[in-house]
Chains A and B, each alone.
Chain A
Amino acid sequence: MHPLLRLLACAALSMAVIGAACGGGASEESTASKTAAPVTNPVDPNTASAITGVVTLQGTPPPNPPINMGSDPYCMKLGAATTRVFVVSDDSGLENVFVYVKDGLGSLKFPVPSSPVVLDQKGCSYSPRVFGIQVGQSLDIVNSDETLHNVHALPMANREFNRGQSLQGMKFTTTFTAPEVMLPFKCDVHKWMNAWVGVLEHPFYAVSGKAGAFALAGLPPGTYTIEAWHEKLGAQTQQVTIGPKESKKISFIFKV
């Protein structure tokens, strides 16, 4: 055989082998995805229970210092703003506390919601400031401002990222691969912008809203460790036992 033809034949053979190898990999992946059992909610709706409650702040809440937005004319013209570290209602309810089931679910697996969680950069602040998400669930990070932001995640258990969003309307979608409470975000352009996400393998989490109220619904009966986390005041836990179709009320009290 002519050396050139021999070379071409070898090249063709090599390509075929590589192609087969790659195809094989894809096929395995495809097979694996076919054989993986879809995760369904393991909680029997007939016995599902709930834990509800309220987070309160005892003592005089420290003032939220004003934010100097002078480094960005766009943010500056939005008007005066303060940090939202202590958002307290008239009856001492404390907002933005992440409440979740820390322990007690054993090896139960829960389906990942198909709808994404949205973290918006609006008015030169993050909205929401504190939120939860499940491992594998999409997080859409959008920029609604007419200025640019960078979204810098500072995880311990997940992969760090830092993405720039220079134009209004830009969106970046990501997921987290490991549970982590709490995972902070910051904007290095605007130092005052901070947010925290609790990444969990289950859907039993809530963020205290107005008057400090929260609800963890759809839980299977059992004994749970419930944790409440606040960005400045730290975390508190308590044990709660609930029976079938029971709704139990608990409270967390943070002191300043």
Chain B
Amino acid sequence: MFHLYAVLVAAFTGILIFAGGLVTSTESGLSVPDWPNTYGYFMFFFPLEKMVGGIRYEHTHRLIASTVGFLILVLAAWLWRAETRRWVRRLGYLALAAVITQGILGGITVLWYLPDPISIAHASLAQIVFCLTMTIALVTSPGWKRAYEAQEGTPLRRSGRQGPAPDDLMLQRVAAVTTGLIYLQIVVGATMRHTGAGLAIPDFPLMFGQLIPPHWDSKIAIHFAHRAGALIVSLAILATTGHVLYHHRSRSELRRPALLLLALLATQVTLGALTVLSKKEFIINSLHVVTGASVLVTSLVLTLRAHRARFAADGRGADASASADTRIGRLAGDHA
């Protein structure tokens, strides 16, 4: 039950990131000039008929954000009451602190007219919140807990396909580095969005018709960094997924997120190109944001699963009776 709830929270967080992407893509961040109120109304009493123009995006983003904040509050309280693993409880507290900070950053950036550092921090922290909620959903899944039993040699109640987690140091390292690189790439992307550098290089795949921009300024440099980052991240993802498919092809809990990661990477690169070619069409632009976040959490899931052996000690006593495939597995392409 709790795991289902955690998945719901993670899903809402992903939706929130998409809604945030819509706000920046439509340049609606300041269409509601006050905070926490909306045009003087208590946020939840703002009349629907007044949700026009940019307000639709900004106010909807605030409503979803409030919902996510409340959901995470309940999540943290639930973990505090029911979770036996201390580090998982702490993840809940951390997610709560992060989402509160995120809300404050969102308010400050409106009241201070979207200063770049605050807006970039707001966008970057959103990814952390998503990672935290996804991690909580993952580590509370029956599949994750079952793996502990397998780790300790306890017979599995279901099929024998769920073996012990691999203690593959190379995979652990390359997956962790990949996840870190994806996060950095998202921060560079947020910097590009909030400094208005999204079309600083107007063509794709070339840059002003060349492989390297013939002239430079700060916006072109940021944009170029994002494109170069995309190349680096793509190579890192190919290295991670290649390693999984070569060495751990039989392990579905690794193979499936790896395949999903490849699919998301292809989608993300396509969306990035379309964002430039469509001159930042707002839906494409926002999908690029949320797909980037999906790439990050999928890589995170893969990384955590690669490190699962290290968590085994926390699995003692974990409930192994779950029979259904995990919902987080569905999100990350895994039935483990």
Which residues from chain A sit less than 8 Å from chain B, CB to CB?
71-75, 147-148, 150, 152, 160, 162-164, 166, 187-191
Residue of B27, B31, B32, B50 with most chain A CB atoms under a 10 A cut-off: B31
In the complex, A152→B31 CA distance in Å? 9
In the complex, A152→B113 CA distance in Å? 9
Q: Would you call B30 an interface residue if the criterion is a C-beta within 8 Å of the partner chain's C-beta atoms?
A: yes
Picked from B29, B40, B52, B56, the residue with its CB within 8 Å of the CB of A164 is B40
Q: Would you call B54 an interface residue if the criterion is a C-beta within 8 Å of the partner chain's C-beta atoms?
A: yes
The answer to whether A164 and B54 touch across the interface, beta carbons within 8 angstroms, is no
Given the interface pairs A152-B33, A164-B39, A166-B40, the reply to whether A189 lies near B113 with Cβ below 8 Å is no
Given the interface pairs A148-B39, A188-B27, A191-B27, the reply to whether A164 lies near B32 with Cβ below 8 Å is yes
Q: Would you call B53 an interface residue if the criterion is a C-beta within 8 Å of the partner chain's C-beta atoms?
A: yes
Residues of B within 8 A of A71 (CB): 52-54, 56
Closest-CB distance, B224 to chain A (whole angstroms): 27
In the complex, A150→B34 CA distance in Å? 10
Q: Would you call B55 an interface residue if the criterion is a C-beta within 8 Å of the partner chain's C-beta atoms?
A: yes
Q: Would you call B28 an interface residue if the criterion is a C-beta within 8 Å of the partner chain's C-beta atoms?
A: yes
Residues of A within 8 A of B30 (CB): 150, 152, 162, 188
The answer to whether A147 and B52 touch across the interface, beta carbons within 8 angstroms, is yes
The answer to whether B52 and A150 touch across the interface, beta carbons within 8 angstroms, is no
What are 28 A-B pairs at a CB distance below 8 A?
A71-B52, A72-B52, A72-B53, A147-B52, A148-B39, A148-B52, A148-B55, A150-B30, A150-B31, A150-B32, A152-B30, A152-B33, A160-B113, A162-B30, A162-B113, A163-B33, A164-B34, A164-B40, A166-B40, A166-B41, A187-B53, A188-B28, A188-B30, A188-B54, A189-B31, A189-B53, A190-B53, A191-B54
Residues of A within 8 A of B32 (CB): 150, 164
Residues of A within 8 A of B40 (CB): 164, 166
The answer to whether B52 and A188 touch across the interface, beta carbons within 8 angstroms, is no
Closest-CB distance, A183 to chain B (whole angstroms): 14
The answer to whether B33 and A191 touch across the interface, beta carbons within 8 angstroms, is no
Residue of B34, B40, B53 with most chain A CB atoms under a 10 A cut-off: B53
Residues of A within 8 A of B27 (CB): 188, 191
In the complex, A157→B30 CA distance in Å? 20
Residues of A within 8 A of B31 (CB): 150, 188-189
Q: How large is the interface on B (under 10, 10 to 19, 20 to 34, 35 or more residues)?
A: 10 to 19
Residue of B28, B40, B54, B56 with most chain A CB atoms under a 10 A cut-off: B54
Dominant secondary structure of chain A at its interface with chain B: loop
Q: Which residue of B lies closest to A166 (CB)?
A: B39
Residues of A within 8 A of B39 (CB): 148, 164, 166
Query: Which B residues from 50 to 87 make CB contacts under 8 A with A?
Result: 50, 52-56
Closest-CB distance, B323 to chain A (whole angstroms): 49
Residues of B within 8 A of A152 (CB): 30, 33
Residues of A within 8 A of B29 (CB): 188
Closest-CB distance, A72 to chain B (whole angstroms): 4
Query: Which B residues from 250 to 276 make CB contacts under 8 A with A?
Result: none
Closest-CB distance, A114 to chain B (whole angstroms): 29
Q: Which residue of B lies closest to A162 (CB)?
A: B33
Q: Which residue of A lies closest to B31 (CB)?
A: A188
Residues of B within 8 A of A160 (CB): 113
Residues of B within 8 A of A73 (CB): 52
Closest-CB distance, B260 to chain A (whole angstroms): 36
Given A152-B30, A163-B33, A191-B27: 8 more A-B contacts, CB < 8 Å = A148-B52, A150-B31, A150-B32, A162-B33, A164-B34, A164-B39, A188-B29, A189-B54
- B19-48 vs A: 1/0 string, CB under 8 Å? 000000001111111100001110000000
In the complex, A162→B58 CA distance in Å? 15
- 6 tightest CB-CB pairs across the interface, nearest first? A189-B53, A188-B31, A72-B52, A166-B39, A162-B33, A164-B33
The answer to whether B52 and A166 touch across the interface, beta carbons within 8 angstroms, is no
Residues of A within 8 A of B55 (CB): 148, 189
Closest-CB distance, B4 to chain A (whole angstroms): 37
Q: Which residue of A lies closest to B113 (CB)?
A: A160
Residues of A within 8 A of B41 (CB): 166
